[in-house]
Structure 1
Amino acid sequence: MTDFRCAAASRERGDALAGTASTVRSYLLVEHAGPWGVDVLRDARLPYGLGVHLREVAGRHRVRVLLIRRPGRRAGDAGVHVFACRAAGPESWTETVVLDELNDLRDLDLAPLGAGRSLGLEPHTPPLLAVCTHGRHDACCAELGRPAALALADGPHADEVWETSHVGGDRFAGNLVVLPRGLYYGGLDAAAALAVADATAAGEVLLDHFRGRSDLPMGAQAADSALRRELGLTGLDDVLARSVRVDGEVTTARFDVAGHGAREVVVRRVPGETAHRLTCSARRDNPVPRHEVVEVRPA
């Protein structure tokens, strides 16, 4: 089974991308060239005790810590680049600082970030393009993510491109997250990654590879994607979530839709009928759930 690749199996099954983004609102990106190991806060060569500290503090404040590096592990500028990102639709923001050393992270208070408030760092305006290349976590992320990251590094948006540790959804590799908006894309090759970068620069969403917005529950992500596809809307703020209600497997989301007023979308999570290996290292099979749009109605 060593030749098994979860991304290839997922593409062959035709797994739906919509509604599969990890649900995260607050991110802390920390530059670390690697190696990262399987679990970055446990296995990466961080200063003694720092991984444990970050895991405890970030977990308490619901902040997702990602390790980042420049594509190809090329040397970056001096110091440790750190980005704090908050995914909140049009109110999303990124702040940054360059630390002298990794241990200076201990002085960073993550409580405001977890609550959606500024850390008082330097504002950072351009979107970040974070490509998962975490091969020790899943082989597909390295095999499919690295070519995408290298292609972006040779393009016009190279300054905003970073390789990142595990972001979720290995079977959708290559994966890319646009921050601070928390836009997840999957199934990317080099050409598709460049298309995502161009769409991002134009203030648009590339629907063909769109997994969802990380600041919404998965059912609402699927509803957002369904509305965009039905109405042909690609602008970042063409579909704005106003309320989300989750009742068991059913999600009801209300959106303000550009040119179409308010819409309410009802989505049902449908469990998969057959179990499959969902990651390259999975030790057991699991069903592949999907989201089914039940109704779209004026709100």
Structure 2
Amino acid sequence: MTDFRCAAASRERGDDLAGTASTVRSYLLLEHAGPWGVDVLRDARLPYGLGVHLREAAGQHRFRVLLVRRPGRRGVDGGIRLFACRAAGPESWTETALLDELNDVRDLDLAPLGAGLSLGLEPHDAPLLAVCTHGRHDACCAELGRPAALALAGGPHADAVWETSHVGGDRFAGNVVVLPRGLYYGGLDAATAPAVADATAAGEVLLDHFRGRSDLPMGAQAADAALRRDLGLTGFDDVLARSVRVEGDLTTARFEVAGHGAREVVVRRVPGETAYQLTCSARRDNPVPRHEVVEVREARET
């Protein structure tokens, strides 16, 4: 059905947000006004061979490429902005450069990025708010993401705001990723997105709409969110992951929790019993898994 919208269906089902962030630690953001097509590295109007070059480098060195643009702006003026980001809790960082043309990215040695090492670019201390508006990938991302991006661009944190290509989780549109921390938020719109910007500026996680941290496996993301909600902890570093162990459907995550010492959380991945169409263009139905907190306990001394 052409009028089916995966985000509306997801909200009606009440799909859990926690534990649904893409698992990515390193990001490369490259300014490109568009159009982006369905697959940005294949379909966007990049210089010949650049999409293949970036895809191969990202696969080999384990980083994610996102095309970005300023909200509501179609042209690139005064150079092409590039960001390299590493999501690593308190050690997260962003570097930036202004390129003369898109092909200049070929001159960069991107191998260190996947290992969390500097590319030797200019440090960028301010957070980025990347709002997925990739409508050719999924209609919900455009219909819900663009109003959110424009609302953010009209607020006090406008300099931080970029529209971005697909970030994962179309059914949770509108999606915002806070970089370099890798904080994923979903279910946002023009009314709710500004709260993410305000929380970010304060160094806090907005527990409403929080999907998880991209530098953790999904089970550990759910554990982190559960601890934060139970204890009312919102500071970026109030809950620090120390170790994660995955055994089958069980994830055991150990955290250092501000004011509460060490905690272990055991989470079970529960497969969905019913299959649904999870994106607007999906050709088959899939189950919706969720994460169930099994136990929260004081961590044993090691």
Q: Using the alignment, how far apart are the partners of 1:45 and 1:274 within structure 2?
A: 40
Describe how 1:107-118 pairs up with structure 2 within 5 A.
Answer: 107-118=107-118
1:50 aligns with 2:55: no
Q: What is the deviation of 1:288?
A: 0.1
- What is the SS of the residue equivalent to 1:190? coil
Q: Using the alignment, how far apart are the partners of 1:155 and 1:34 within structure 2?
A: 24
TM-score (norm 1): 0.99
Q: Using the alignment, how far apart are the partners of 1:36 and 1:13 within structure 2?
A: 31
Corresponding residue number in structure 2 for 1:95: 95
Corresponding residue number in structure 1 for 2:120: 120
1:189 aligns with 2:189: yes
Corresponding residue number in structure 2 for 1:280: 280
- What is the SS of the residue equivalent to 1:207? coil
Q: Using the alignment, how far apart are the partners of 2:203 and 2:108 within structure 1?
A: 31
Q: Using the alignment, how far apart are the partners of 1:23 and 1:191 within structure 2?
A: 27
Describe how 1:231-270 pairs up with structure 2 within 5 A.
Answer: 231-270=231-270
Alpha-carbon displacement from aligned partner over 1:213-235 (angstroms, at most 9, x marks no partner): 00000000000000000000001
Give yes or no for contact 2:96–2:121 (8 Å, CA) kept in 1. Answer: yes
Q: Using the alignment, how far apart are the partners of 1:39 and 1:261 within structure 2?
A: 45
Corresponding residue number in structure 1 for 2:227: 227
Corresponding residue number in structure 2 for 1:24: 24
Give yes or no for contact 2:18–2:221 (8 Å, CA) kept in 1. Answer: yes
Q: Using the alignment, how far apart are the partners of 2:110 and 2:260 within structure 1?
A: 39
Corresponding residue number in structure 2 for 1:294: 294
Corresponding residue number in structure 1 for 2:143: 143
Corresponding residue number in structure 2 for 1:34: 34
Give yes or no for contact 1:63–1:110 (8 Å, CA) kept in 2. Answer: no
Give yes or no for contact 2:33–2:76 (8 Å, CA) kept in 1. Answer: no
Q: Using the alignment, how far apart are the partners of 2:77 and 2:239 within structure 1?
A: 38
- What is the SS of the residue equivalent to 1:57? helix
Alpha-carbon displacement from aligned partner over 1:24-50 (angstroms, at most 9, x marks no partner): 000000000000000000000000000
Q: Using the alignment, how far apart are the partners of 2:191 and 2:4 within structure 1?
A: 25
Alpha-carbon displacement from aligned partner over 1:59-86 (angstroms, at most 9, x marks no partner): 1000100000000125454111000000
- What is the SS of the residue equivalent to 1:171? helix
1:180 aligns with 2:180: yes
1:60 aligns with 2:73: no
Q: Using the alignment, how far apart are the partners of 2:77 and 2:184 within structure 1?
A: 27
- What is the SS of the residue equivalent to 2:125? coil
Q: Percent identity?
A: 89
Give yes or no for contact 2:262–2:298 (8 Å, CA) kept in 1. Answer: yes
Q: Using the alignment, how far apart are the partners of 2:187 and 2:75 within structure 1?
A: 28
Alpha-carbon displacement from aligned partner over 1:135-191 (angstroms, at most 9, x marks no partner): 000000000000000000010110110000000000000000000000000000112
Letter in 1 for 2:158: A
Give yes or no for contact 2:171–2:279 (8 Å, CA) kept in 1. Answer: yes
User: What's the Cα RMSD here?
Assistant: 0.6
Q: Using the alignment, how far apart are the partners of 1:288 and 1:55 within structure 2?
A: 29
Q: Using the alignment, how far apart are the partners of 2:109 and 2:184 within structure 1?
A: 27
Give yes or no for contact 1:252–1:267 (8 Å, CA) kept in 2. Answer: yes
Unaligned runs of 5+ in 2: none
Q: Which moved more, 1:188-197 or 1:286-295?
A: 188-197
Letter in 1 for 2:264: E
Q: Using the alignment, how far apart are the partners of 2:123 and 2:74 within structure 1?
A: 25
Give yes or no for contact 1:71–1:162 (8 Å, CA) kept in 2. Answer: yes
